[in-house]
Chain A
């Protein structure tokens, strides 16, 4: 297991290097001088030269990339042009918000998607199946910004049950421990702030959960259908087990691998910046940070965000692979 883990970890390094290079080139090879764009109409030759020097744009591309890698190896992602803060610090400040939102959305997506898929498979071609399939199709195709605004309009503006946007009511300050407000609230006993954080989390998490919930439901249905026809299920039924026991203990357990794969992939997407949801709900995560970086043409910041997205995606995938060890005895044997 350890050997396998190390091999997989070693593979992540070239992936990140590749991503770094692609992002680096993509940002620099698009037409237009970034310094010029940053300064806009007001650019004059002196300030242009200053900004170019500040960004290192006056040096050849390979030198720029080399310098970036050397700094990167030291854990230095550079400084944001817009704010002058270290990029690493800016991302670290915002990453917990993205993690909290992503995990909450994944929890909702699993809680909805797996049962929905199981029901659809068990009641194949019955009205429940059609309803579940239609529901997940709608979930996958729904434009997220529209759904977010719709939920906000109904639950915040009309019914006034939940707050509109942000992460915490303005009157509260959450003591900082992990940066995950729900955890910090519990750890420090800040109950009123905890309730406020939870209320703020509901709508963006539900919005963000729709696509993964739908994807999980479809995958669960498919995997379950494959398994339900298998011989060990017939045997289990023949032994006189209850239908519920057959479905959960025997069928769902066997179908777990493809379901875990889709969950892992979706979690990767969620952590690599819920760009739209974070923007609609003014959620201060890395997704909205990347949007700000694009608008401000903040190259180092944008580069840092892209790198963090790629890294979290790769690591979540790695974690999913590790999960196979628990779920599938065959992998355990071949990779020992």
Chain B
């Protein structure tokens, strides 16, 4: 099976990567303690068979799967788990364990092997997202023998417990994996899984059409109809775990007035934007809130803001702007999955807001400056977005709307939204362990957020992949994971 991506992997050390070109490969080499169920962010056992949380919410105990070996023959056990997390605490020169920093450094106090196949994590404070964090690709279990042997070069010599083992990596030509015949879950159907980088999307599609490759990601939206027409190809789409939105800076008048913000929400027609910018709706959906529907805790009861220019005008008049007002809008300077063409989307929004009497000046900055200025709160309205990491609502709502993240200079709450009620709900939801309880808390928070309208939710982009029609058993995952374990090719393959 040959799968083409837009670029080569950077490293094959799961803890030391932060992008999809590398994780697409490591997903097949490594297992995590818990993993996301197919098609959802529900958690199921992987290298851990069961787990318990202490009543004070600070101590997680995991029973590990017995008789699992790394691809180098060394056993997977509690000591291996401890060593994997220990090394992330003490990076070697050149290593930046970004996910460890973001998701574990502040919460994990210690981990101990309490038996050959039992591990206990002690947390500094209760963290309801801890289990989801363990399912991220970054927490794949690497062979300690290999870590010791290769040091900082482990990213070129990956050894895990996953369904495929590493064979060779010729930079920018190919990465070859072979079936791990001893895989604890049963050997994969494919004998070989080869990743090749093909930067140009049109060339990638040509290669798929002539059969030089079996599958590809990064399909250009314009090519979707062509793939749909071709009986030898199949198109996979999957709602992604992302959101593109307009942050309304609630510190800056007139955006400190919720009526003005609501008027903006009602003036923008997300459905029309999705049709125009996401291949007629084939590649994306209109967002109704900051939480995408693929993440549990999403409240399906909350409606999208209606597209109602007349009511928007009335709201503006009520807020004291019967003759309209002027605002600036920052266009996203780079193509991101959640907003593929910031400048053109900005122009469309400008035209829609003009309908209700809001005169919009467009502006944009180089990406690094853009993010800096956003964190400083220099904007009035700005396009931005988020791609989820661990499938937990906290990863979206707390990051983007909690007042703890509204500190000028290092904000990720770009609306600078500060609502003590919402804060209390979001904080409580990251501490209690029970998912039903957490869901209830997030539903309450979403109702308040919808009323206050600190952001205009715009898009949830879908993921896309195209395969030869004889490839079966592959499914896209909301987290962007690429798992080829149960994939097979009919007609004998290559």
Contact = CB atoms under 8 A, between A and B. Distances in A.
B102 A47 contact: yes
Contacts of A8: none
Contacts of A83: 10-11, 155
A281 B200 CA distance: 8
Contacts of A156: 206, 210
A281 B199 CA distance: 8
A235 B101 CA distance: 82
A154 to B, nearest CB: 11
B178 to A, nearest CB: 14
Nearest to B202: A149
A41 B101 contact: no
A153 B16 contact: no
Contacts of B369: 31-33
Interface string A253-293: 00000000000000000000000000111101000110110
A284 B196 CA distance: 11
Nearest to B384: A41
A50 B200 contact: no
Of the four ranges (under 10, 10 to 19, 20 to 34, 35 or more), the interface on chain A belongs to: 35 or more
B140 interface: no
B371 A167 contact: no
A42 B98 contact: yes
Given A153-B206, A284-B172, A32 B98 contact: no
A132 B311 CA distance: 68
B68 interface: no
Nearest to B156: A85
Interface in B164-194: 168, 170-174, 194
Interface string B386-428: 1101000000000000000000001010000000000000000
Contacts of B203: 149, 152, 164-165, 280-282
A37 B367 contact: yes
A194 to B, nearest CB: 16
B474 interface: no
A47 B389 CA distance: 16
A166 B384 CA distance: 36
B171 A93 contact: yes
Given A41-B385, A41-B387, A32 B206 contact: no
Interface string A139-158: 00000010001001100110
Interface string A47-77: 1001100100000000000000000000000
Contacts of A36: 368, 371-372
Interface in A6-41: 30-34, 36-37, 39-41
Interface residues of B, number: 51
A86 B196 CA distance: 22
A199 interface: no
A122 to B, nearest CB: 41
A83 B175 CA distance: 15
B83 interface: no
Nearest to A54: B96
A296 interface: yes
A94 B172 contact: yes
Contacts of B389: 42
A97 to B, nearest CB: 9
A45 B410 contact: yes
Contact of A50 (B96, B198, B365): B96
Interface in A151-199: 152-153, 156-157, 160, 163-168, 170, 173
A44 B7 contact: no
A236 interface: no
A42 B387 CA distance: 9
A305 to B, nearest CB: 13
Nearest to B13: A84
A92 to B, nearest CB: 11
Contact of A164 (B18, B170, B206): B206
Given A32-B368, A43-B371, A279 B101 contact: no
Given A47-B96, A47-B102, A94 B171 contact: yes
Nearest to B385: A41
Contact of A289 (B105, B172, B212, B366): B172
B5 to A, nearest CB: 11
8 nearest A-B pairs in the assembled complex, by CB-CB distance: A32-B368, A284-B172, A37-B368, A32-B369, A36-B368, A32-B366, A82-B10, A84-B94
Interface of B: 2, 7-8, 10-11, 16, 18, 94-96, 98, 101-102, 105, 152, 155-156, 168, 170-174, 194, 196-200, 202-203, 206-207, 209-210, 212, 365-372, 384-387, 389, 410, 412
17 contacts: A31-B368, A31-B369, A32-B369, A32-B372, A37-B367, A37-B371, A41-B386, A41-B387, A41-B412, A84-B94, A149-B202, A157-B206, A157-B209, A165-B203, A282-B196, A291-B199, A295-B7
Given A33-B372, A84-B155, 15 more contacts: A31-B369, A32-B366, A32-B367, A32-B370, A33-B369, A36-B372, A39-B18, A42-B18, A83-B155, A152-B206, A165-B207, A282-B196, A284-B172, A289-B172, A292-B8
